């Protein structure tokens, strides 16, 4: 077999070599129906990408909820049951965390509490307070 072992599509098999990815172009229709050439790195939509500096920094929703639950556990000594609410604010996140404060038999008589926790963009505690307490079996009553 002649050649230098370049494999499929190599220069000695009659196919041209490919340019590096950043130099590849594709045909895309322009606003008037004609074709325009754009680099593949520019594809992905007609809207320009925002610079990274304008994107929000800090934790995402899941991380904010984890941080809030950890803060409640550290402050109350109780294991959080779950996240009841999550809302992004100007300077961070407001998270509702549910905790069993008193375990009883049967479970339907457990006393639960909902804590409102505000964490900053990095997940640090800003504020925390108990919003309400209720029996598990009467969770919908206020």
Whether the predicted pLDDT of 102 surpasses 70: yes
- Measured CA distances, 33 to 27, 28, 37 (Å): 11, 9, 13
Same domain? For 67 and 134 the reply is yes
Instruction: Specify whether 93 is located in the same domain as 36.
Output: no
pLDDT digits (tens, 9 = 90+) for 57-89: 789 999 999 999 999 999 999 999 999 999 999
Residue 2 domain flag: no
Give the model confidence (pLDDT) of 36-53 as tens digits.
444 334 444 455 454 444
Do 75 and 95 share a domain, yes or no? yes
Residue 10 predicted with pLDDT over 80: no
Classify residue 3: in a domain, yes or no: no
Q: Do 69 and 109 have their domain in common?
A: yes
Q: Is a pLDDT exceeding 90 seen at residue 3?
A: no
pLDDT of res. 108: 87
Q: Which residues have CB under 8 Å from 32's CB, separation 6+? A: none
Residues 39 and 69 in one domain: no
Q: What is the pLDDT of residue 14?
A: 54
Domain count for the chain:
2
3-state helix, strand, coil in the chain (%, to 5): 25, 35, 40
Sign of the alpha-carbon dihedral angle for 16, 17, 18, 19: negative
CATH number of the domain where residue 128 is located: 3.10.450
3-class DSSP string for 94-120? EEEEEEEEECCCCHHHCEEEEEEEEEE
Q: Is residue 47 located within the same domain as residue 94?
A: no
Q: Are residues 78 and 21 in the same domain?
A: no
Domain encompassing residue 24: 12-54
Give me the pLDDT at residue 132, please.
94
Check whether 35 has a pLDDT greater than 50. Answer: no
């Amino acid at each position: 077999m002649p050649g230098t072992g370049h494999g499929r599509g190599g220069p000695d098999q009659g196919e041209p070599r490919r340019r590096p990815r950043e130099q590849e172009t594709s045909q895309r229709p322009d606003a008037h129906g004609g074709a325009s050439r754009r680099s593949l790195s520019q594809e992905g939509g007609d809207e320009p990408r925002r610079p990274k500096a304008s994107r929000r920094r800090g934790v995402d929703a899941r991380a904010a909820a984890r941080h809030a639950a950890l803060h409640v556990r550290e402050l109350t000594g109780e294991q959080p049951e779950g996240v009841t609410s999550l809302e992004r604010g100007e300077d961070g996140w407001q998270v509702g965390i549910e905790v069993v404060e008193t375990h009883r038999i049967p479970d339907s008589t457990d006393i639960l509490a909902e804590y409102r926790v505000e964490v900053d963009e990095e997940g640090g505690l800003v504020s925390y307070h108990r919003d309400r307490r209720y029996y598990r079996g009467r969770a919908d009553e206020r």
